[in-house]
Chains A and B, each alone.
Chain A
């Protein structure tokens, strides 16, 4: 336990020193939320005047931190640690290299949550009204978070080296945040693009969070829930089966 805690603290410090995960995971989402708040004001959706734009965009921007931590942070760090033989070094100690992996993933979880809290504060200042159940939202959020990190673990498990992992991460991350509605609002996408977007697990995650934050019942989000659970379970299974320590 003590080792896990020390490793967690160290991963946090390393991450702040490296800075890109703080920039993309926390500062960019805050900046985007401010920008959207200023742009939208009290505007409502074109096709649904009863819904305010700020209310739907909160859930989208709230996932940006998750994506940065899960799709970039986790796979990049783990493939780097494997390449540097850090994971292997722990194989000749009394602990398992799994401890370092867990410390890093827990830190990425923390960073996602911090990012979302800040995004919430900003959205709240611009008049965002949360209408759903807070507990359901937290559970839905955790599901989206685990699911995105599972995708990151798949990349970390299957990429042959850290260079290729970097390329795949960028590809998945940028495709996901631009097409799924995390940055460009899903509501303004043309119909054809929405169809493509629906195939992204993140799109389903954002839809779920939107539905919950607007107080809809979960029975409207069965598809999203199924997709996210399948991704989380499959990703974890692939990681357990294929992840190599060296």
Chain B
């Protein structure tokens, strides 16, 4: 199996606060990897260190065997990213943001095809700010995958979505994975993690407490389900 994302002994601190204290993991091609943890555990910092938007203190990070800092231009042709609260200009329209995004990449799918696939075709001339939470989230996913990337990073992708929209998004993520795309995601929802992830890690105070498949993590915790297993690990020694 080909390793797509490799993180070795990654450390990152902000002043005196040790955000990541030497984490290591590998993500294999064509799998969905979930990074779990409470707010402030270091999930977003991990994504940003992997993507190079934050400079790491020490350790090693490679995506598709390359350093995201050194070969940015080539590498980001093959990486798709959806950040929490994705950024867009006030008063920008759906088609404008799609056109610009499309122009960034060498082999991007026609954005109209993407909008159609996600049922957003009639929103083409709408302002991004006027979309519903679910529609906007779908748009962010379109922007992240329009260029047929090999790796996709999704930071809390279904936060704020209604149950129907979440299931649609899950279905699409499965389709992507079946096409061989590697997906790295963070999530707060254990049902989502159970539905999607081939492998998970639970992050707490900048350290990985446990990694494995959902089944492995549940059985190691001795609990009945993923919800309880997550709480068991993420809140261990909390009190």
Partner of B76, one of A2, A14, A18, A92: A92
Say whether A244 faces chain B, with CB atoms less than 8 Å apart. no
Q: Which residues of A contact B81 (CB under 8 A)?
A: 89, 92
Instruction: Tell me, in angstroms, the Cα distance from A3 to B100 when the chains sit together.
Output: 6
Say whether B88 faces chain A, with CB atoms less than 8 Å apart. yes
Q: Which of A1-22 contact B (CB under 8 A)?
A: 2-3, 6-7, 10, 13-14, 17-18
Where chain A touches its partner, the secondary structure class is helix
| B87 with A84: CB separation less than 8 A | yes
Measured CB to CB, the closest approach of chain A to B88, in angstroms, equals 7
Partner of B87, one of A7, A13, A88: A88
| B104 with A13: CB separation less than 8 A | no
Measured CB to CB, the closest approach of chain B to A156, in angstroms, equals 16
| B99 with A94: CB separation less than 8 A | no
Q: Which of A53-95 contact B (CB under 8 A)?
A: 80-81, 84-86, 88-89, 91-95
Interface size in chain B (residues, C-beta < 8 A): 25
Measured CB to CB, the closest approach of chain A to B156, in angstroms, equals 15
| A93 with B104: CB separation less than 8 A | yes
Measured CB to CB, the closest approach of chain B to A18, in angstroms, equals 6
Instruction: Tell me, in angstroms, the Cα distance from A95 to B106 when the chains sit together.
Output: 12
| A86 with B89: CB separation less than 8 A | yes
| B89 with A92: CB separation less than 8 A | no
| A10 with B92: CB separation less than 8 A | yes
| A92 with B104: CB separation less than 8 A | no
Whether A14 touches B103, Cβ cut-off 8 Å, given contacts A85-B87, A89-B83, A92-B81, is no
Q: Which residues of B contact A80 (CB under 8 A)?
A: 90
| B76 with A94: CB separation less than 8 A | yes
Measured CB to CB, the closest approach of chain B to A203, in angstroms, equals 34
Measured CB to CB, the closest approach of chain A to B146, in angstroms, equals 11
Measured CB to CB, the closest approach of chain B to A62, in angstroms, equals 29
Instruction: Tell me, in angstroms, the Cα distance from A100 to B105 when the chains sit together.
Output: 16
> Of residues B85, B89, B90, B99, which shows the largest number of chain A Cβ atoms within 10 Å of its Cβ?
B89
Partner of A81, one of B52, B83, B85, B89: B89
Q: Which residues of B contact A81 (CB under 8 A)?
A: 87, 89
Interface residues of B (CB under 8 A from A): 51-53, 72-74, 76-77, 79, 81, 83, 85-92, 96, 99-100, 103-105
Known: A92-B83, A94-B77. 16 other contacts (CB 8 A): A3-B103, A6-B99, A6-B100, A14-B89, A14-B91, A18-B91, A81-B87, A84-B87, A84-B88, A84-B89, A86-B87, A88-B83, A89-B86, A89-B87, A92-B81, A94-B73
**Contact sample, A vs B, 14 pairs, CB 8 Å cutoff:** A10-B92, A81-B89, A84-B87, A85-B85, A86-B89, A88-B83, A89-B83, A89-B87, A91-B52, A92-B79, A92-B81, A94-B76, A95-B104, A246-B53
